[in-house]
Amino acid sequence: MSDSQWLQISHDKENALLSQNLTLGSQCFDYLPEACFVVDPFNDVVVHSNALGRDLWLRCKGGREASQNECVDRVFSSWFGDQMPHLVLFTQQALEQGEAWSDELSLVCADGERLSIEMNIRRVELGENVLLIFLLRDASTVHERHNQSALNRYHRGGLIQWRRMEQVFQDIERENQLILNAAGEGIYGVDVEGKTTFMNPAAEKMLGYDAVEVVGQNMHALIHHSHENGHHFHEEACPIFTSFRDGEIRNVDNECFWRKDGSYFPVEYTSTPIRDNGQLVGAVVLFRDVSERKEAESNLKMALEEVRKLKQQLELENAYLKEELGEEYNYHEIVGKSEAVRNIIQKIEWVAPTDANVLICGETGTGKELIARAIHQRSERYNRPLIRVNCAAIPKELFESEFFGHIKGAFTGALAHRVGRFELADGGTLFLDEVGEIPLDLQGKLLRVLQDQQFERVGDVQTRRVNVRVIAATNRNLAQAVEEKTFREDLYFRLNVFPIESAPLRKRIVDIPLLASHFLKKACQKFNKPQLRLSVADTTALCAYAWPGNIRELENVIERQVILCRGKRLHFDLPSEAFNQVKTDQTEPEPLNSAGATEVLTEDDRRQGERMNIVNALKRSRGKVFGPQGAAEILQVKPTTLASRIKRYRINPAEFKVA
Ligand SMILES: Nc1ncnc2c1ncn2[C@@H]1O[C@H](COP(=O)(O)OP(=O)(O)OP(=O)(O)O)[C@@H](O)[C@H]1O
């Protein structure tokens, strides 16, 4: 084959291929995804259209089907109705510029409806022919596509976001799981049907169940079915059950949970309802084993009960001891039954509740301080201090500072502020012992405080107020001192509102046995000796001794004997001449009771007598102990006192009811 032949064959093949490709391209045109029209602009006719173009045409025309060429040769502008000017302008633009775009035109359908379109035009020059290709899109479809596209973008973005959130949730869940696993408290969840949804390892450990065994099971039936005493615990009565019914949080600490092995332990738990979108979906229960706490509480309770019992016992013992101490003849440490002592006690009873100043006169050692203390104790100020000032022991120049205090630098040696006795006694009682020793120049200042309850500290200008009751005592004859002008009369009257005379021992011989027993008891305690008793002979000897006034002498004699005593016997070696001492006092001493100095009642006699007395009172009250006409009233003792004596003497008041 020649070269020219060979060339001819290859040229023919190329042509055939080209023609085949053109046919294919032309066929593809039919499948363009937009409605497409090829229009001859100068003759205003459609030259060609694709399938979607034909569909659009058909849609406007209202027909059912369109054949391949049905829209060809149609007048293109006729579809646009009265929009001709706009179409012309638009077409013109495409012819001049090669392309144009508009979304302002609409196709007019057969039924008069308008179909908004978006349109692209491209100018095509094929040899001498100038054609326009129109691509038409239904505007609503375009809009829909935009929306869809936006939606897709949104979804894609949302999906990414969601994945991120999912990751976050997974992380949180993982952390929660870690927390649940690490928590020391038992935690489990139940749904609204009471079925277990989860359980942490601490709960597994405490209950002896594996989580897999309980998930899906009714937790109440497994671990909460019975009370501690074995009685059935109805689910409806269970606070956990109610908490996921009424949405309230429940804190409980008096129930128990049962282990898998049938044992139980006391629990403290909180049941918190769980809500999902406002809907109650169950509860989460956080619990801990409180065995140790309960045991500690129970031990504490037992210990407190023990303490309470001991306290009660102590109180009883205390009451008994008080009673022992506070026997009839011991009034706030003032021992005695003599007329003089009874008189003093009566006066104390009268004056104590008032705020009146009291002046106690009497010889040294006759119990003036005891009287002052008793007045304070019986007054309403008893829980405030009783401040004692021994006026005889204060140097003259320090009186003012001692009474009223001073401020720093008030005088040489006043290195700091000092509170005086009046301030210390504020609200309470000031006992001015040896009041007759107060220097005359200070008596005026003292008078002012007694009148106004006001004073100034030495060196200070500030006036201070106090509320102080003054009890003064003296062994001097103050009335005489007033006459001698060594004591201010106005101060004397101010102090002597209520005078009490303390009696010297020589005037109350009748009290000697009681005082001697009292001092003996005290001395034995003081020197840690076994309790000794006075024999009749001892008492007789003591009573026979001509005591001067100072009771301390009797006290000292007894203390000395206790120290010297070996074994159980005391030996009073009182100076024999004392027996014959001439009593200097003009006043007759009170006689001893009917037993006299020679016949002294033993402790047993006294107890027998007291027992008889109580029995007689009960007989008279027909067994009534308390209340009006009761034995306590008859005996003039406190009902509690009588009750404990009745107990002590083992008397049965009921026996006297009939009588
Ligand atoms: N009636 C009494 N019962 C019991 N003890 C008493 C009685 N009277 C005085 N005493 C005792 O005698 C001692 C002196 O009593 P107190 O100090 O009260 O007397 P005083 O008159 O204030 O003495 P002074 O004048 O020395 O200050 C104290 O130990 C006190 O307990």
- In the prediction, which pLDDT does 427 show? 92
Return the number of other C-beta atoms located less than 10 Å from residue 655's C-beta.
12
Q: How many residues would you count in the chain?
A: 659
Given a cut of 80, whether residue 340 has pLDDT beyond it is yes
Q: 373 in ligand 1 pocket by Cβ < 6 Å?
A: no
Given a cut of 50, whether residue 436 has pLDDT beyond it is yes
Show Cβ contacts of residue 326 under 8 Å, excluding neighbours closer than 6 positions: none
Return the number of other C-beta atoms located less than 10 Å from residue 218's C-beta.
16
Given a cut of 50, whether residue 43 has pLDDT beyond it is yes
Kindly state the tokens that stand for 178. Answer: 């870690």
Question: What residues pair up with 130 in beta bridges, in sequence order?
Answer: 125
Q: 344 in ligand 1 pocket by Cβ < 6 Å?
A: no
Q: 370 in ligand 1 pocket by Cβ < 6 Å?
A: yes
Given a cut of 60, whether residue 514 has pLDDT beyond it is yes
CATH number, domain 183-289: 3.30.450.20
Residue 64 pLDDT grade (very low, low, confident, very high; cuts 50, 70, 90)? low
Residue 565 pLDDT grade (very low, low, confident, very high; cuts 50, 70, 90)? confident
Q: 549 in ligand 1 pocket by Cβ < 6 Å?
A: no
* Choice from 337, 369, 519 to test ligand 1 binding pocket (greatest atom count within 8 A of CB): 369
Could you read off the pLDDT of 121-169 as tens digits, one per residue?
A: 999 998 888 999 999 998 888 889 889 998 888 778 767 767 776 777 7
Considering only the C-alpha atoms of the chain, give the largest distance between any 2 of them, rounded to a whole number of Å.
192
Return the number of other C-beta atoms located less than 10 Å from residue 412's C-beta.
6
Give burial (CB, 10 Å; 0-12/13-18/19+) of 400: buried
Kindly state the tokens that stand for 593. Answer: 């009771």
Task: Give percent above pLDDT 90 in the chain.
Answer: 40
Q: Are 552 and 365 in contact (CB under 8 A)?
A: yes
Return d(Cα 504, Cα 475) in angstroms, integer. Answer: 11
Given a cut of 90, whether residue 71 has pLDDT beyond it is no
Distances (CA, A) of 501 to 23, 476, 531, 586, 612: 153, 12, 33, 16, 35
Atom of ligand 1 nearest to the CA of 511: 1
Given a cut of 50, whether residue 443 has pLDDT beyond it is yes
Q: 53 in ligand 1 pocket by Cβ < 6 Å?
A: no
Q: Are 48 and 37 in contact (CB under 8 A)?
A: yes
Given a cut of 80, whether residue 329 has pLDDT beyond it is no
Return d(Cα 465, Cα 490) in angstroms, integer. Answer: 21
Q: 434 in ligand 1 pocket by Cβ < 6 Å?
A: no
Show Cβ contacts of residue 435 under 8 Å, excluding neighbours closer than 6 positions: 359, 391, 472, 473, 474, 478, 495
**Of the given ranges (264-273, 379-388, 619-628), which has the lowest mean pLDDT?**
619-628
Atom of ligand 1 nearest to the CA of 335: 3
- In the prediction, which pLDDT does 470 show? 95
Q: What is the dihedral of CA 512, 516, 522, 523, to 10 degrees?
A: 140
First to last CA, the chain: 171
- Domain 183-289 in the same topology as domain 17-144: yes
Task: Give percent above pLDDT 70 in the chain.
Answer: 90
Task: Decide which of 1.10.600.10, 3.40.50.10330, 1.10.443.10, 1.10.8.60 is the CATH code for 506-601.
Answer: 1.10.8.60
Q: 91 in ligand 1 pocket by Cβ < 6 Å?
A: no
Atom of ligand 1 nearest to the CA of 360: 21
- In the prediction, which pLDDT does 332 show? 84
Return d(Cα 206, Cα 201) in angstroms, integer. Answer: 9
- In the prediction, which pLDDT does 153 show? 84
Could you read off the pLDDT of 162-202 as tens digits, one per residue?
A: 777 677 778 777 777 777 777 788 999 998 888 998 899 89
- In the prediction, which pLDDT does 575 show? 54
Distances (CA, A) of 593 to 430, 476, 650: 38, 32, 29
Return d(Cα 225, Cα 565) in angstroms, integer. Answer: 77
- In the prediction, which pLDDT does 251 show? 92
Residue 328 pLDDT grade (very low, low, confident, very high; cuts 50, 70, 90)? low
Q: 428 in ligand 1 pocket by Cβ < 6 Å?
A: no
Distances (CA, A) of 386 to 316, 365, 381, 393, 425: 29, 19, 9, 18, 6
Domain positions in the chain: 17-144, 183-289, 332-503, 506-601, 605-656
Atom of ligand 1 nearest to the CA of 336: 1
- In the prediction, which pLDDT does 4 show? 73
Long-range contacts (CB closer than 8 Å, 24 or more residues apart) made by 218-221: 218/193, 218/194, 219/188, 219/190, 219/194, 219/195, 219/285, 220/194
**Of the given ranges (176-185, 247-256, 315-324, 395-404), which has the lowest mean pLDDT?**
315-324
**Rg, the chain, Cα only:** 61
**Residue owning the nearest CA to atom 14 of ligand 1:** 365
Q: How far is ligand 1, taken at its centre, from the CA of residue 532, in Å?
A: 22
Question: What residues pair up with 553 in beta bridges, in sequence order?
Answer: none
Q: How far is ligand 1, taken at its centre, from the CA of residue 165, in Å?
A: 94
Q: How far is ligand 1, taken at its centre, from the CA of residue 473, in Å?
A: 12
**Residue owning the nearest CA to atom 16 of ligand 1:** 367
Show Cβ contacts of residue 599 under 8 Å, excluding neighbours closer than 6 positions: none
Question: In the predicted model, what is the mean pLDDT of residues 337-365?
Answer: 93
Does ipTM top 0.90?
Answer: yes
Given a cut of 50, whether residue 323 has pLDDT beyond it is no
Could you read off the pLDDT of 91-100 as tens digits, one per residue?
A: 999 999 999 9
Residue 571 pLDDT grade (very low, low, confident, very high; cuts 50, 70, 90)? confident
Question: In the predicted model, what is the mean pLDDT of residues 225-249?
Answer: 88
Question: What residues pair up with 133 in beta bridges, in sequence order?
Answer: 38, 122
Show Cβ contacts of residue 301 under 8 Å, excluding neighbours closer than 6 positions: none
Atom of ligand 1 nearest to the CA of 508: 1
Q: 401 in ligand 1 pocket by Cβ < 6 Å?
A: no
Higher pLDDT among residues 172 and 513, named by residue: 513
Give burial (CB, 10 Å; 0-12/13-18/19+) of 240: buried
- In the prediction, which pLDDT does 538 show? 81
CATH number, domain 332-503: 3.40.50.300
**Residue owning the nearest CA to atom 15 of ligand 1:** 367
Q: Are 28 and 51 in contact (CB under 8 A)?
A: no
CATH number, domain 17-144: 3.30.450.20
Q: Are 566 and 532 in contact (CB under 8 A)?
A: no
Q: 364 in ligand 1 pocket by Cβ < 6 Å?
A: yes
Q: 555 in ligand 1 pocket by Cβ < 6 Å?
A: yes
Residue 598 pLDDT grade (very low, low, confident, very high; cuts 50, 70, 90)? very low
Question: In the predicted model, what is the mean pLDDT of residues 551-566?
Answer: 88
Q: 330 in ligand 1 pocket by Cβ < 6 Å?
A: no
Return d(Cα 391, Cα 404) in angstroms, integer. Answer: 14
Nearest to 595 by CA among 510, 468, 656: 510
- In the prediction, which pLDDT does 579 show? 39
- In the prediction, which pLDDT does 586 show? 37
Give the count of alpha carbons within 13 A of 422, CB side only: 26
Q: How far is ligand 1, taken at its centre, from the CA of residue 500, in Å?
A: 14
Could you read off the pLDDT of 610-654 as tens digits, one per residue?
A: 888 888 888 888 888 888 888 888 887 788 888 888 888 888 888
Q: How far is ligand 1, taken at its centre, from the CA of residue 367, in Å?
A: 3
Q: 551 in ligand 1 pocket by Cβ < 6 Å?
A: yes
Q: How far is ligand 1, taken at its centre, from the CA of residue 552, in Å?
A: 7
Return d(Cα 333, Cα 323) in angstroms, integer. Answer: 13
Q: 435 in ligand 1 pocket by Cβ < 6 Å?
A: no
- In the prediction, which pLDDT does 515 show? 93
The angle subtended at Cα 78 by Cα 74 and Cα 81, nearest 5°, is 165
**Residue owning the nearest CA to atom 6 of ligand 1:** 367
Q: 433 in ligand 1 pocket by Cβ < 6 Å?
A: yes
Q: H helices of 217-367, where?
A: 219-223, 239-246, 291-325, 339-351
Question: In the predicted model, what is the mean pLDDT of residues 323-342?
Answer: 74
Atom of ligand 1 nearest to the CA of 341: 1
Given a cut of 50, whether residue 592 has pLDDT beyond it is no
**Of the given ranges (11-25, 217-231, 339-353, 541-555), which has the lowest mean pLDDT?**
11-25
Residue 657 pLDDT grade (very low, low, confident, very high; cuts 50, 70, 90)? confident
Kindly state the tokens that stand for 629. Answer: 């006409």
Return d(Cα 386, Cα 430) in angstroms, integer. Answer: 6
Given a cut of 50, whether residue 366 has pLDDT beyond it is yes
**Residue owning the nearest CA to atom 30 of ligand 1:** 367
Given a cut of 50, whether residue 321 has pLDDT beyond it is no
Q: 335 in ligand 1 pocket by Cβ < 6 Å?
A: yes
Could you read off the pLDDT of 238-266 as tens digits, one per residue?
A: 998 888 788 889 999 889 999 999 999 99
